[in-house]
């Protein structure tokens, strides 16, 4: 047991990665079976396109993967961050949407800001708006013991309705029943990324998103504050007994989570790609799509980067697959199955332990047998 490889496989994080990989494998297999049933003739070709679609058109596809990953990376990070304190931040869609609205409002209307910094201020304000939206469930939980899931759901609808009202009042594009969009000069700059990933819609927002994930990881794992958050999530009463302010921990974890979601919304709508807020009372799907990202990344900020890239990758592949008349919803099914199996992490880990132990026993038994 002293050798290095055994230690590697004993590590909890290794087991998490292995169980996630098993979940992904099962999800892909289920996807393949479903495609086979629905469209046997093109199934294998379609499945291959899905798996390789992220490289279909070289750097363009790869750039699209990176661009696609940004909003779900941020909403995933938001959920992951709050989950560490034991709260399920289901209010992400609302936080994401108010962030998007405030950012668009500044991007379009605040013409007194020079083009060079308008996008940055818009992103910061979008993040603050998201934080404010998460503050409400946070303070209601801390002061009045209101269940965060229900207040989050309510704040989603409040946010949605106010955003629609706000768009209609301030930044309405009357011909298309949607909001105005930022001009390319005021959009998030590309800083050369458009040269590397020619033709794709990637911009500097991707770098910001990855940087925020790393910052979140540092807060979580390298600061006293992060330790307090985790301790509160692990055992609220023990944390309080140890002199930590558990009220503050709950509020701050949700506010920071909301900030991430708001930044995600801001980046998604400041790309200068014509993405606009629609006048329809439907919550943005990017919010809920953050949930699988957080879960697949085992609520680890760095895990969220990889999980969002994976989800983006198979979605871009799924887009190409549609040319074969295979409905793109098969991607959602695959992701759902992966999440379902990811929920057994504990079980799969136990199985891995059992497997290793039985192997250990066998080798021990073999040794003993040899000695006799």
Residues that bind other proteins (CB under 8 A): 34, 38-39, 88, 90, 136, 140, 144-147, 149-151, 153-158, 161-162, 164-165, 282-283, 288, 291-292, 295, 325, 327, 329-330, 332-333, 335-337, 339-340, 342-347
Provide the minimum distance between the beta carbon of 6 and other proteins in the complex, in angstroms, as a whole number.
26
**Minimal distance in Å, beta carbon 341 to other proteins?**
8
What token pair was written down for 163? 């955003």
For residue 235, is it left (φ>0), alpha (ψ between -120 and 50) or beta? beta
Least separation in angstroms between residue 223's CB and other proteins is: 26
CA angle 64, 68, 71 (to 5 degrees): 155
DSSP for 305-349, written as a single string: HHHHHHHHHHHHHHHHHGGGT--THHHHHHHHHHHHHHTTHHHHH
Q: How far is the CB of 80 from other proteins (least distance, A)?
A: 12
Residue linked to tokens 């506010």 = 255
| 171 or 187: CB nearest other proteins | 171
63 vs 303 by CB, closer to other proteins: 303
- Per-residue DSSP letter, 54: G
In three-state secondary structure terms, 190 is coil
Q: Report how far residue 34's alpha carbon sits from residue 232's, in angstroms, rounded to the nearest whole number.
A: 43
Of the candidates 323, 295, 263, 236, the residue with the CA atom closest to the CA atom of residue 53: 323
- Rounded Cα distance between 321 and 56, Å, is 11
C-alpha–C-alpha distance, residues 269 and 74, integer Å: 13
Residues 263, 208 contacting (CB under 8 angstroms): yes
Q: C-beta of 314: minimal distance to other proteins in Å?
A: 13
Shortest reach from residue 328's CB to other proteins, in Å: 9
Nearer to other proteins, 38 or 219 (CB): 38
Contact 164, 248 (CB under 8 A): no
Q: Is the dihedral of CA 341, 218, 230, 291 positive or negative?
A: negative
Q: Considering beta carbons, is residue 23 or 210 the nearer one to other proteins?
A: 23
Q: Which is nearer to other proteins, 143 or 359 (CB)?
A: 143
Classified as helix, coil or strand, 172 is: strand
Q: Which is nearer to other proteins, 146 or 207 (CB)?
A: 146
Shortest spacing between CB 40 and other proteins, in angstroms: 12
Toward other proteins, which CB reaches closer, 147 or 183? 147
């Amino acid at each position: 047991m002293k050798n290095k490889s055994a230690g590697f496989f004993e590590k909890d994080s290794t087991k998490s990665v292995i169980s996630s990989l098993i979940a992904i494998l099962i999800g892909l297999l289920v996807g393949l079976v479903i495609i086979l049933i629905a469209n046997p003739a093109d199934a294998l070709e379609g499945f291959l396109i899905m798996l390789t679609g992220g490289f279909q058109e070289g750097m363009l596809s790869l750039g699209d993967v990176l661009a696609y990953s940004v909003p779900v990376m941020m909403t995933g990070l938001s959920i992951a961050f709050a989950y560490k304190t034991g709260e399920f931040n289901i209010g992400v869609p609302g936080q994401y949407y108010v962030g998007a609205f405030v950012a668009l409002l500044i991007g379009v209307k605040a013409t007194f800001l020079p083009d060079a910094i308008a996008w940055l201020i818009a992103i910061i304000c979008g993040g603050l708006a998201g934080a404010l939206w998460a503050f409400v469930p946070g303070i209601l939980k801390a002061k009045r013991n209101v269940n965060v899931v229900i207040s989050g759901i309510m704040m989603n609808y409040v946010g949605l309705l106010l955003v629609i009202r706000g768009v209609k009042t301030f930044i309405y594009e009357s011909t298309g029943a949607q909001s105005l969009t930022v001009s390319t000069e005021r959009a998030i700059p590309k800083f050369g990324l458009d040269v590397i990933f020619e033709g794709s819609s990637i911009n500097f927002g991707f770098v910001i998103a990855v940087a925020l994930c790393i910052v979140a990881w540092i807060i979580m794992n390298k600061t006293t504050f992060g330790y307090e958050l985790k301790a509160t999530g692990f055992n609220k009463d023990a944390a309080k007994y140890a002199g930590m302010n558990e009220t503050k921990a709950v509020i701050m974890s949700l506010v920071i989570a909301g900030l991430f979601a708001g930044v995600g919304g801001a980046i998604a709508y400041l790309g200068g790609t014509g993405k606009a807020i629609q006048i329809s009372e439907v919550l943005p799907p990017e919010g809920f799509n953050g949930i699988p990202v957080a879960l697949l990344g085992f609520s680890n900020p760095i895990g969220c980067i990889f999980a969002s890239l994976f989800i983006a990758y198979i979605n871009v592949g799924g887009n190409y697959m549609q040319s074969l008349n295979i409905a793109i919803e098969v991607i959602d099914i695959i992701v759902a199955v992966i999440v379902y199996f990811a929920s057994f992490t504990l079980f799969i880990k136990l199985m891995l332990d059992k497997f290793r132990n039985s192997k250990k026993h066998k080798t021990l038994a073999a040794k003993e047998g040899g000695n006799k």
